[in-house]
Structure 1
Amino acid sequence: MTWRLLLDEHCSKAIAASLRQLGHDVGVAVADPELGGASDPGLFRWAAEAGRRIVTESTKDFRPLLLRATTSGAPAAPFLLVPPRRFPRGRGDRTAAIAAALQAWLAHPDADRRPVEDWLV
């Protein structure tokens, strides 16, 4: 399976551009006119309907949405968490580090069997 990603507002557009050059389908929430300024529940619903995995730092926002969706039977968007301690803001290489980690995650042989809540390392 090839994952289609949607980068949340915490991720740079440069990450998407870098991954697109490698052939990955990556959208950017804040750059999409339909999604710019969308609430987290709205973004979650859109990603679920579009079949995209959300890449975000917001564990506290997306975990309850995933739990509600899976317990109610509603469409759920899996997500990939970018830990701020592992990828701190303000570091000059943060964008490149996240892009490289995402590329490794996408290239992993069991990417299609990853949990609906996964962590980028």
Structure 2
Amino acid sequence: MKLLLDEMFPASTAKRLRDQYGHDVIAVTELNALRGLPDADIFLAAQEQERAIVTQNARDFRPLAREWQTMGKVHFGLVLTTNRRFPRAHSRTARRLVRGLCDLIGPETGRPPASNREVWL
């Protein structure tokens, strides 16, 4: 499972998932071309890169995913969190998020097909 971390998550989280655990994860904050773009453009970029989006912004991304499905397209998934579950201001949040994403991804056994999957961490 390939992931794109939305802008609320630091690049260091993606780097840790890559370097320590070997997962294919990038953060919007690592890519100048994606920084500050509207959510619809982030969603499209994730689909082009065959990545599920990790975000706390369910309010905007869930309608984008539904619209995609309404057009008969299959998206690569949403991994949704909340600031309550993973508070950005808390020092342990990054470590907990990495653990949660590692559990979700599991051992890499090849890329799963696009699935319209929505998961809450």
- How high is the TM-score relative to the length of structure 2? 0.87
Query: Residue in 1 aligned with 2:10?
Result: 12
Residue 116 of structure 1, CA deviation: 1.4
> Matched residues in 2 for 1:9 and 1:36: separation?
7
Partner-residue secondary structure (3-state), 2:89: coil
Aligned counterparts, 1:1-121, within 5 A:
3-21=1-19, 22-74=21-73, 76-107=75-106, 112=112, 116-120=117-121
Residue 75 of structure 1, CA deviation: 5.3
How many percent of aligned residue pairs carry the same amino acid? 33
> Matched residues in 2 for 1:105 and 1:76: separation?
17
> Matched residues in 2 for 1:5 and 1:89: separation?
19
> Matched residues in 2 for 1:9 and 1:63: separation?
16
Residue 117 of structure 1, CA deviation: 1.1
Residue 86 of structure 1, CA deviation: 1.1
Q: Cα RMSD over matched residues?
A: 2.3
Residue 85 of structure 1, CA deviation: 1.4
Runs of at least 5 residues in structure 1 that lack an aligned partner in the other structure: none
Q: Which amino acid aligns with 2:26?
A: G
Runs of at least 5 residues in structure 2 that lack an aligned partner in the other structure: none
Query: CA contact under 8 A between 1:66 and 1:77: conserved in structure 2?
Result: no
Query: CA contact under 8 A between 1:78 and 1:117: conserved in structure 2?
Result: yes
Q: How many residues align?
A: 118
- How high is the TM-score relative to the length of structure 1? 0.87
Q: Which amino acid aligns with 2:22?
A: G
